[in-house]
Amino acid sequence: MTVDNKVIIITGAASGIGRALAEGFCSDGAFVLGFDVNREGLALTARECDDQFVGVQGDVSSEKDVDRLVSIAMTRFDRIDILFNNAGINTQDPLRSDVPFQDWKHVIDINLVGVALCTHRILPIMVKQGCGRIVSIISQAAEAMETGNTAYAASKAGVATLTRTLAQGLIQACHKDILINSMIPGPTRTAMWGSTLTDNSLPEGLLKELQDADVVYPHARFLVELPPGGPNGRVFWNSREYPLYQHFNE
């Protein structure tokens, strides 16, 4: 599958990795629907993508908003070729009694429920088309057991398991041209990282390790251009398969 003239939905497209992906795919000839709660950020992304980009404001954890997104895509293009589950938030607050549970739950709602909801609505369209690619952004935090990062780590581990389970069902049903994989981009300079860089729990020197968001695009394109029958249900660290949990120490 090449990206030229493909219809791509990218969640979290108002900034960071999502914006970089939108710009990259648009420049390579794709049509992108960017989904985000941040209207102003979507407008800035649109300026970089010209007529190839359609911004849709909404919440990935809202059934009403996601249904509206899918309706806009199908009305305008009559197909959805690629879904990038990129939207994500984080909090450094651990699960403890003095932290509102709603703060913890909000991370799960966006990072895990949002991925499940978007996939639930879009995967049947891909099955009907007979082809499609779904890539979900996760993190090494899924296996790292970082103190105070419980909600984020749990959400990313959940996405990895969701991806693997859905892919297994596709394989059993012989849908060889529908691939669902997870991608770890590595520490990337985004607004989410910026909101936590002052936290003393972050590893020393992390700021120097942060890559720019546009570095992620070539790897994202690699994943959506995998051939029919290619890797399915796998975790990639950028363009290379990554053995999630094999480094796990109990």
Which pair of tokens denotes residue 19?
């914006």
Distances (CA, A) of 139 to 7, 38, 69, 192, 217: 26, 23, 26, 13, 16
- Secondary structure in 3-state letters for 201-231: CCCCCHHHHCECHHHCHHHHHHHHCCCCCCC
- Whether the CA torsion 149, 21, 194, 212 is positive or negative: it is positive
> Per the domain annotation, does 76 fall within a domain?
yes
> Per the domain annotation, does 2 fall within a domain?
no
In angstroms and rounded to an integer, the radius of gyration of the C-alpha atoms of the chain is 17
Q: According to the model, what pLDDT value does residue 162 have?
A: 97
Q: According to the model, what pLDDT value does residue 209 have?
A: 63
> What is the chain's mean pLDDT, rounded?
88
Q: According to the model, what pLDDT value does residue 77 have?
A: 98
- How does residue 250 score in pLDDT terms, banded at 50, 70 and 90? very low
Residues of the domain holding 228 = 7-241
Closest CA to 92 of 106, 108, 104, 82: 104
> Per the domain annotation, does 153 fall within a domain?
yes
The DSSP code for 1 is -
pLDDT tens sequence across 4-50: 999 999 999 999 999 999 999 999 999 999 999 999 999 999 999 98
Report d(CA 104, CA 93) in Å as an integer: 8
Report d(CA 14, CA 116) in Å as an integer: 20
Q: Which residues are catalytic?
A: 152
Which pair of tokens denotes residue 215?
């570095």
In sequence order, what DSSP letters do the residues of 102-156 get, joined into one string?
HHHHHHHIIIIIHHHHHHHHHHHHHHHHT-EEEEEE--THHHH--TT-HHHHHHH
| Contact by Cβ (8 Å): 180, 163 | yes
| Contact by Cβ (8 Å): 88, 67 | no
Report d(CA 138, CA 112) in Å as an integer: 10
Report d(CA 114, CA 131) in Å as an integer: 22
pLDDT tens sequence across 146-179: 777 888 999 999 999 999 999 999 999 999 999 9
> Per the domain annotation, does 1 fall within a domain?
no
Q: According to the model, what pLDDT value does residue 163 have?
A: 96
Return the percentage of the chain with pLDDT > 90, whole number.
69
- How does residue 238 score in pLDDT terms, banded at 50, 70 and 90? confident
> Per the domain annotation, does 250 fall within a domain?
no
Find the range with the poorest average confidence among 25-34, 38-47, 208-217, 225-234.
208-217
Q: According to the model, what pLDDT value does residue 34 have?
A: 98
Given a cut of 60, whether residue 218 has pLDDT beyond it is yes
Report d(CA 1, CA 20) in Å as an integer: 20
Q: According to the model, what pLDDT value does residue 244 have?
A: 76
> Per the domain annotation, does 249 fall within a domain?
no
pLDDT tens sequence across 64-118: 999 999 999 999 999 999 999 999 998 766 667 777 888 889 999 999 999 999 9
Q: How many domains does the chain have?
A: 1
Distances (CA, A) of 216 to 18, 135, 176, 204: 10, 13, 26, 23
> Per the domain annotation, does 158 fall within a domain?
yes
Q: According to the model, what pLDDT value does residue 193 have?
A: 53
CATH number for the domain spanning 42: value is 3.40.50.720
pLDDT tens sequence across 108-150: 999 999 999 999 999 999 999 999 999 999 987 777 767 778 8
